[in-house]
Chains A and B, each alone.
Chain A
């Protein structure tokens, strides 16, 4: 097995007793004090996540708009400077290669954040598509040049106050700004993967530990990938490799809002002509505290109708929840199903997503 990659904060994680696990080719903290207190910190205060494993791609020296319009299901042409947009990168057959964020910095100037596990695949895909279009040579991978720290929770705005060269409290949701931290380049976006307000902050590697420690000093709680997973599950955000993969499509995944059919893109034809009867992503709430796990089978009317893609007992809602793909006939909220947990069939019902939505 190849050696695991380490983020600029690896030393801090180890020194602070994080449990380190392999994730997407990186050695990452899964938890420090515990998933439950970390999860709670993000819902009630502020949590910090090292997400430097996320792939950061840039498109220097070329107008990247035609390429991005071709590979991205959401609209690129309608983006404003500083705007961030979520969408999918699909194959010709509509299968999802990744879910990504596109950032617009200026006319023709864009960057992209991709899942750590898909970084090399997407970089290769962009190169191929750029070749086909005759539009530049694809993306440059800048993942190793900077760190990425997510500052998440209702107290995030208060916590970063005065930290950067320019105020970021006025930054709108899904907008980003280039500013400075300790006089050096810094990128701040009003984005996240927890269902809370917050920022994702990128600084040069040498400033990763100073920024992290300054935020800890201001009262942020270090959180690992364990809490990140339970937080995104409560917020019903899909995770690549679980709800999303090359065999799933954005429409069935409930991400149709991020697919714009009024433009051309790879996979458009397939997504407009999906065969009927594709199962849909649904939320499930289980009776009791036992958790469904990825792979747990879902039964209705005496036969298996689907499979759980993510599930856990979640700390904030204090419920056992799961996501699964179920046929349309069973996807209506209120539908009762059974989930097989190691031979015991536990009752569950289909519920509206998201499970958790923050109060504004």
Chain B
């Protein structure tokens, strides 16, 4: 599996990378492949306060519409407009330039509830 070991994962296929108290969030390569080529991406705005499971965006493909959920609690501090405007970034580089939002963790919030790469690999195995 190609899921980076340095990231943590939500069962709903978002990944999280923590730098200090800011979590960068995107969707996994597996999710993008399942969705098929994205045709539309809409993300919530900077300033929104979220808790795990809140909708932070919508991603569409030719075949389907899927919600993107906040994997952590905090406040949206940055949105990747480049990815919204160029979905090839999400399609071709979901763990890199295709990142979606940055969320500043709420006081006391952690990533402990999220899956490790090995656990996420196990979740998607068999597909």
Chain A interface residues (CB < 8 Å from chain B): 30-31, 34-36, 39, 226, 230, 288-291, 293, 312-315, 341-342
Q: A230 and B62: CB pair below 8 A?
A: yes
Q: Closest 5 interchain pairs by CB?
A: A313-B39, A289-B40, A35-B62, A36-B37, A34-B37
Q: A289 and B36: CB pair below 8 A?
A: no
**For chain B residues 48-96, which have a beta carbon within 8 Å of chain A?**
58, 60-65
Q: B37 and A291: CB pair below 8 A?
A: no
Q: Which residues of B contact A34 (CB under 8 A)?
A: 36-37
Q: Which of B42, B58, B62 contacts A313 (CB 8 A)?
A: B62
A-B contact count (CB 8 A): 43
Q: Which of A289, A290, A312 contacts B63 (CB 8 A)?
A: A312
A34-B37, A315-B62 given. 17 additional CB < 8 A pairs?
Answer: A30-B63, A31-B36, A34-B36, A35-B37, A35-B61, A35-B62, A226-B62, A230-B62, A289-B39, A290-B60, A291-B39, A291-B60, A293-B64, A312-B62, A312-B63, A313-B39, A341-B65
CA distance A293 to B61 in the complex (A): 11
Residue interface bits B25-37, CB-to-A below 8 A is 1, else 0: 0000000000011
The smallest C-beta distance from A152 to any residue of chain B, in angstroms, reads 18
CA distance A290 to B41 in the complex (A): 9
Q: Which residues of B contact A342 (CB under 8 A)?
A: 58, 65
CA distance A36 to B69 in the complex (A): 26
Q: Which residues of A contact B64 (CB under 8 A)?
A: 293
CA distance A231 to B40 in the complex (A): 19
Q: B40 and A36: CB pair below 8 A?
A: no
Q: A290 and B62: CB pair below 8 A?
A: no
Subset of 28 A-B contacts with CB under 8 Å: A30-B63, A31-B36, A35-B36, A35-B62, A35-B63, A36-B37, A36-B62, A39-B62, A226-B36, A288-B40, A289-B39, A289-B60, A290-B40, A290-B42, A290-B58, A290-B60, A291-B60, A291-B62, A291-B65, A293-B64, A293-B65, A312-B62, A313-B60, A313-B62, A315-B62, A341-B65, A342-B58, A342-B65
Closest chain B residue, CB of each to CB of A313: B39
The smallest C-beta distance from B62 to any residue of chain A, in angstroms, reads 5
Q: Which residues of A contact B36 (CB under 8 A)?
A: 31, 34-35, 226
CA distance A314 to B61 in the complex (A): 10
CA distance A290 to B61 in the complex (A): 9
Q: B58 and A291: CB pair below 8 A?
A: no
The smallest C-beta distance from A125 to any residue of chain B, in angstroms, reads 31
Q: Which residues of B contact A313 (CB under 8 A)?
A: 39-40, 60, 62
The smallest C-beta distance from A332 to any residue of chain B, in angstroms, reads 28
The smallest C-beta distance from A253 to any residue of chain B, in angstroms, reads 24
The smallest C-beta distance from A294 to any residue of chain B, in angstroms, reads 11
The smallest C-beta distance from B110 to any residue of chain A, in angstroms, reads 30
Q: Which residues of A contact B63 (CB under 8 A)?
A: 30, 35, 226, 312
The smallest C-beta distance from B91 to any residue of chain A, in angstroms, reads 9
CA distance A293 to B60 in the complex (A): 11
Closest chain B residue, CB of each to CB of A290: B40
